[in-house]
A and B are shown apart, each in its own frame.
Chain A
């Protein structure tokens, strides 16, 4: 297989031009820095830990907000750790949920150790086998134009895996206070009264 040529932040920026009022969740590490690099927003919920279930936070949100699009951006290591979530989401099939895995085949934050996606695991194929109606494995510039529509428009659940260059990027650091991120997100979505009174 040829080496990846796509750059994760450029791909995400192009796709997120179609975001509109979609809600976003990011998996810890690079995916959180990537989402933050597009500009901090109240309707981003960034993870700084809790590795392995960004997709399940997305499922809970998608069930709670069936009229809103929910997009989870995560990395290959995070998605691999929570592979079981694909079976759960595949069984539930929320039409408004999309997952985008920026797959550099590395545990980037811990020293670029190889992950299983570089050794045989095809996350898009796993999602298809779990019942996701639409999956994509994106490697080329020509397919990037389709990513935004997949993530923000196509009937889900969607699994879009983008093979990206393993590269050093500056950290784009969003707020790290989980309570603040939660309350800010809820105020934006539900209004201040509903968000702050139990």
Chain B
């Protein structure tokens, strides 16, 4: 487990540098630093969502309007997004999300395991490219790769932040 105050801040700064001005999130402990930075930063807008699929649709609307958005969510939220991702696939919308993983490495809450295992096959089956990250020094470069791919190859990209990176929770 690494220090989120380092990679989280680094990731946030990278996203803003790359032109992201709209953040949306359903909270997770692994996104705590990024969420707080986005709420405190007058340069960006940060929208708390009620359910994750709203963030997929909002990012598409943001792209129609000419700004860059990212969605922050936990692995359980990836399942909520599946049908809404048909919008990304059909419209060839750029879409970038950061998924903090549960249920995969050292998970102690059995209820997190099924969706944790399903994240990658589910996202890939609806056309979203998954880029897993396990080391803190790979976070920012993966974010850049995700944005480049989403906006230039016009597709959905999910950066999967592993439990090796964020740590496994006991509950």
Residues in chain A near residue B48, CB distance under 8 A: 88, 91
CB atoms of B61 and A51 under 8 A apart: no
- A99 CB–B CB distance under 8 Å: no
Q: Which of B37-69 contact A (CB under 8 A)?
A: 45, 47-51, 53-67, 69
How far is it, in angstroms, between the C-alpha of A178 and the C-alpha of B93 when the chains are bound?
Answer: 9
Residues in chain B near residue A45, CB distance under 8 A: 64
Residue of B nearest to A57 (CB): B61
CB atoms of B92 and A179 under 8 A apart: yes
Total chain A interface residues with beta-carbon distance under 8 A: 39
Q: How large is the interface on B (under 10, 10 to 19, 20 to 34, 35 or more residues)?
A: 35 or more
CB atoms of B49 and A25 under 8 A apart: no
CB atoms of B62 and A60 under 8 A apart: yes
Residues in chain A near residue B83, CB distance under 8 A: 49-52
- A56 CB–B CB distance under 8 Å: yes
Report which of A56, A88, A179 forms a contact with B61, defined as CB distance below 8 A: A56
CB atoms of A53 and B53 under 8 A apart: yes
Residues in chain A near residue B22, CB distance under 8 A: 60, 63-64
- A58 CB–B CB distance under 8 Å: yes
Residues in chain B near residue A189, CB distance under 8 A: 64-66
CB atoms of A57 and B151 under 8 A apart: no
CB atoms of A49 and B90 under 8 A apart: yes
How far is it, in angstroms, between the C-alpha of A47 and the C-alpha of B84 when the chains are bound?
Answer: 11
How far is it, in angstroms, between the C-alpha of A39 and the C-alpha of B65 when the chains are bound?
Answer: 22
Residues in chain A near residue B84, CB distance under 8 A: 50, 52-53
List chain B positions with a Cβ less than 8 A from chain A: 22, 45, 47-51, 53-67, 69, 83-84, 86-87, 90-94, 151-152, 154
List chain A positions with a Cβ less than 8 A from chain B: 23, 25, 45, 47-54, 56-65, 82, 84-85, 87-88, 91-92, 178-179, 181-182, 185-186, 189-190, 194-195, 198
- A-B pairs with lowest CB-CB distance, top 10: A60-B61, A64-B65, A53-B57, A178-B90, A178-B91, A56-B57, A84-B50, A60-B58, A57-B61, A50-B87
